[in-house]
Structure 1
Amino acid sequence: MSLARAQSVASVDDIPDAPDTALAQQTSDQSGGMRSQQQTSADPTNLEGKQTKRILWIVPNFRSVSVDEKLPPQSLKDKFVTTTLDSFDYSAFIFAGMLAGVAQAENSYPEFHQGAAGYGRYYWHTLADQAVENYNVEFIFPTVLKQDSRYYTLGRGGIIKRTAYSFSRVLITRTDSGNETFNTSEIMGAGSASAISSLYYPSRERTWTKIGQHWLTNVSLDGMTFIFKEFWPDINNAIFHQKQ
């Protein structure tokens, strides 16, 4: 190649891009950056089925799992800690106080009598009931049977589907390995808790009929709790905009 031709090629390479070409390239880079930024921020803004540690800032919700959240199997320590938190959280004492007040007002157990001393008897019985059921349903039976005591939010589908799913969790749960199984922990745990609690109540409560009634009540209340947990993310997002 001659010196003149080489100089000609070099001068062509030194010519800057046309304004339209440079503008198009700049626009492409900017749009690509915006797309990348949108993709990065998409996950944090997805609040569908997102559970909070507490409901209405008060009620413990430690065992609820958000939609599509992947968690390791529950260890023995995890089951014990969450059960203890549920049983002795400050809200547990408040809730027990309310139930004790209602029971005393209705004179549910005349043997407890009225007044401050009577209220104290109602109170410790109610608090003991909560703890006994929690440890049976959430810790002892799940540990022995290797079952997962957490509630896994469905978060998708219609109201009927989600309601049926959530209430069915009293009968269906997961094993520690992630497979579905009969919820023996709930059924047997609630039943054994009802039998144990009858031991520290007046003798007239120690009948199979009374124990069965308490058993059915405990399981039904747990089912209603599951329904509320299922729809709590929707309520929280609609009313509080996930500010909890």
Structure 2
Amino acid sequence: MAHAYAVVPMVCSKHYATAFLILVCPCLALGQALPQHGNAALPDSPGFLRQAQGFETGEAQGTAQVQGTVQDTQGNPIPGATVVLTAPGKLGDHTAIAGSDGSFVFTGLPQGDFFLIVTAAGLAPYTSPEFAVRAGATVQAPKIALKLATSSSVNVYASSEQIAQAQIQEQQQQRVFGVFQNFYTSYIWKAAPMSTGQKYKLALRTQSDPTTFLVVAGVAGAEQYNGTYPGYGSGIEGYGKRYGAALADATTGRFIGSAILPSLLHQDPRYFYQGAGGIRSRAWHAVASAFICRGDNGRLEPNYSHLLGNLAAGGIANAYHPASSRGVGLTFETLGVTTAGNMVGNLFREFLLRDLEPSVPRFAHGKP
């Protein structure tokens, strides 16, 4: 420090030199005592505190480490979560990103008290209790279990086919008196269109239902009683033939009219319950549905599927009906009887069956 004192008498008077030395020399002495970092901090400044605690960025921090795992409340790891290690008094922050197994680790930490702040998309932030870290120790962080954020919203999108499948499953619960299936009535006016696979599956489900065989048995019994198809004869043998023919009629009509043609022509084979409107409007809708159907595009079209399906089923029946009950005339006669049966059935669907089916959801009430 002698060189600093020697310069002053050469440029100043004795009194000015004395004052200068009193003011300047302590600062120079302090400047020699502090670390030479360009902008050294005073002992009582925040920067000095960070240095004293070993928390300044880029400086060797210490020998301790903290490790842990980020999970949800079900114990599943949350990869990509942001984990911030901080200390009371805001002495500095360390940040880590949780790995694929939700784990994280902080190394080179000084001794002190810390806590964690954890955040992840769609989950509520988590702040851990304060915990102590000793020099050279490996500390397991407190258990971290993130919960769903209460303010977040979840949007669920379903495809048209998924919506249709859910609606078809509802239809398959529809049973008159809780027994007889009514799977081809949609009480949802704006139901999603069925895919090709769904049309075939619904036809198979309908034909394999036990009540279908019960109804066929009733039809065969009525034909036996009325002497329909006399070529089949009488007795158990005649009834068996009528039962087999009636089952074949029902199966070919169902698959051709409700699966094959609707898939090829992109038409919906279901009856859509109207519900709203006066008796005349609803009756007209029921009768017209035997001739007009809804296309997969939502537009009304001639009901080629059912009409041609019934005609095709009648033509195929010529292969196993008695010779006396075959021919083009009988085929078209069968078409007329079947179509009339569809109209009557639709009237029952429109005015009666819904009240007899306990499984129909309340929201499914036809045309809005």
Checking the alignment, whether the CA contact within 8 Å between 1:205 and 1:211 is kept in structure 2 is no
Give the whole-Å Cα distance in 1 for the aligned partners of 2:217 and 2:234: 15
Counterpart residue number, 2:201: 81
Counterpart residue number, 1:214: 334
Is 1:120 the counterpart of 2:240? The answer is yes
Relative contact order, CA 8 A, sep 6+: which one is greater? Answer: 1
Is 1:58 the counterpart of 2:179? The answer is yes
Counterpart residue number, 1:231: 351
Q: Percent sequence identity over matched residues?
A: 26
Give the whole-Å Cα distance in 1 for the aligned partners of 2:222 and 2:201: 30
Q: State the Cα distance separating 1:67 from its structure 2 match.
A: 4.3
- Offset from partner CA, 1:79-115 (integer Å, 9 cap, x none): 1111112222111111111111121122222322222
Give the whole-Å Cα distance in 1 for the aligned partners of 2:247 and 2:268: 25
Q: State the Cα distance separating 1:118 from its structure 2 match.
A: 1.8
Checking the alignment, whether the CA contact within 8 Å between 2:174 and 2:181 is kept in structure 1 is yes
Match for 1:55: what amino acid?
Answer: V
Checking the alignment, whether the CA contact within 8 Å between 2:269 and 2:293 is kept in structure 1 is yes
Are the structure 2 counterparts of residues 121 and 57 from structure 1 closer, same or farther at C-alpha, using a change threshold of 3 Å?
same
Gaps of 5+ in 2: 1-169, 362-368
Is 1:160 the counterpart of 2:160? The answer is no
Counterpart residue number, 1:197: 317
Counterpart residue number, 2:229: 109
Is 1:174 the counterpart of 2:290? The answer is no
- Which of 126, 130, 141 aligns to 2:261? It is 141
Give the whole-Å Cα distance in 2 for the aligned partners of 1:80 and 1:241: 23
Match for 1:93: what amino acid?
Answer: F
Question: Secondary structure at 2:294's aligned position in 1?
Answer: strand
> How many corresponding residue pairs?
192
Q: State the Cα distance separating 1:53 from its structure 2 match.
A: 1.2
Are the structure 2 counterparts of residues 114 and 236 from structure 1 closer, same or farther at C-alpha, using a change threshold of 3 Å?
closer
Give the whole-Å Cα distance in 1 for the aligned partners of 2:176 and 2:274: 17
**1:19-34 aligned within 5 A:** none
Counterpart residue number, 1:130: 250
Match for 1:184: what amino acid?
Answer: Y
Give the whole-Å Cα distance in 2 for the aligned partners of 1:150 and 1:105: 32
Q: State the Cα distance separating 1:168 from its structure 2 match.
A: 0.3
- Offset from partner CA, 1:124-181 (integer Å, 9 cap, x none): 1111111111111101110110101111111111111101111101111111111111
Counterpart residue number, 2:164: none
In proportion to residue count, which structure has more helix?
1
Are the structure 2 counterparts of residues 87 and 166 from structure 1 closer, same or farther at C-alpha, using a change threshold of 3 Å?
same
Q: What is the root-mean-square deviation in Å for CA atoms of aligned residues?
A: 2.4
Q: State the Cα distance separating 1:234 from its structure 2 match.
A: 5.4
Match for 1:78: what amino acid?
Answer: Q
Question: Secondary structure at 2:274's aligned position in 1?
Answer: coil
Question: Secondary structure at 1:209's aligned position in 2?
Answer: helix
Match for 2:204: what amino acid?
Answer: T
Counterpart residue number, 2:16: none
Checking the alignment, whether the CA contact within 8 Å between 1:55 and 1:232 is kept in structure 2 is no
Question: Secondary structure at 1:164's aligned position in 2?
Answer: helix
Match for 1:182: what amino acid?
Answer: P
Give the whole-Å Cα distance in 2 for the aligned partners of 1:99 and 1:161: 31
Are the structure 2 counterparts of residues 154 and 90 from structure 1 closer, same or farther at C-alpha, using a change threshold of 3 Å?
same
TM-score, normalised to structure 2's length? Answer: 0.49
Checking the alignment, whether the CA contact within 8 Å between 1:74 and 1:176 is kept in structure 2 is yes
Match for 1:163: what amino acid?
Answer: A
Match for 2:187: what amino acid?
Answer: S
Are the structure 2 counterparts of residues 223 and 90 from structure 1 closer, same or farther at C-alpha, using a change threshold of 3 Å?
same
Checking the alignment, whether the CA contact within 8 Å between 2:200 and 2:259 is kept in structure 1 is yes
**1:180-191 aligned within 5 A:** 180-191=300-311
Counterpart residue number, 2:39: none
Give the whole-Å Cα distance in 2 for the aligned partners of 1:106 and 1:141: 33
